[in-house]
Amino acid sequence: MKDIIRVKCLLSSDVETLLNQQIKKEAHSSAIYLSMASWCNRNGYDFSADYFFKQAEEERQHQLKIYKYVLDMGGTSISPDITNIKLEYNSFREVFEDALDQEISVTQSLKNIAARCQKEQDFITLEFLNWFFREQREEEFKARRALELFEVIGEEGTGRWQIDKHVGQIVYSSEA
């Protein structure tokens, strides 16, 4: 008896499901960043707004990357619906705290997929995920550095104005 399902699709149904969940997670991240950009803009933090617009765009690209991978491997990618996006933040700092939390949870969920791939020896998806792990290094670094500005510069006086100006200048330059 032929192994028809494997001929049609490289992904196991479990890995396919996890990748679709990740597609949703990236779309969710993108929507959150877009909302943060809105909040920052409305409250006069122009550089941070730009920073979050860029982040939103990046998350959208992450979503598409997985979306196309699932299709290329013969699977079914599902366009997610995203709801419940926070509109208001209590403070400038809270925006960056949420951003870091979001990145940490993305890293965690990618680790979970990789663990599954390892278990079923899906080295192809595992190798695909490597790009995302590299990306998470940068994403977490930037989010953490941004939050640290609040400690380094301090929020008193023109602090928040200074912080906003520096957010756009954070770069991750590790070659390792």
Partner 1 sequence: MQQTVSLPKINFTEVFSTKNGAIYQSDSEGCWYIDFAGKLARFDYRNLLKLKKAVYQIDIEDLLLNSDKSADLEIIFICACDHCYVLSLLQIIKLKDLLQGTFTMLELNHIIFDRLHRIIS
**Binding-site annotation: residue ranges:** 26, 59, 62, 103, 136
Among 8, 86, 134, 137, binds partner 1 (CB under 8 A): 8
Buried b (16+ CB within 10 A) or exposed e, 74-85: ebebeebeeeee
Feature table: binding site for Fe cation: 26, 59, 62, 103, 136
Tell me if 4 contacts partner 1 by CB under 8 A: yes
DSSP 87: -
Residues 75-104 that bind partner 1 (CB under 8 A): 76
Q: Are 67 and 77 in contact (CB under 8 A)?
A: yes
Tell me if 25 contacts Fe ion by CB under 5 A: no
- Give the binding-site size for partner 1 (rule: CB under 8 A): 9
Q: Are 95 and 38 in contact (CB under 8 A)?
A: no
Which does residue 118 bind out of Fe ion, partner 1, none, counting CB within 5 to 8 angstroms by kind?
none
State the nearest-atom distance from the C-beta of 73 to partner 1, in Å. Answer: 14
DSSP 154: -
Report the amino acid identity of residue 96. F
State the nearest-atom distance from the C-beta of 108 to Fe ion, in Å. Answer: 12
Residues 158/163/164/168 CA torsion (nearest 10 deg) = 150
Among 96, 114, 116, 139, binds Fe ion (CB under 5 A): 139
Which does residue 62 bind out of Fe ion, partner 1, none, counting CB within 5 to 8 angstroms by kind?
Fe ion
Q: Please report how many Cα atoms fall inside a 13 Å half-sphere around the Cα of residue 102, on the Cβ side.
A: 25
Tell which residue, 18, 5, 10, has the closest CA to residue 78.
Answer: 18
Residues lying near partner 1 in the complex (CB under 8 A) are found at 1-8, 76
Residues lying near Fe ion in the complex (CB under 5 A): 26, 59, 62, 139
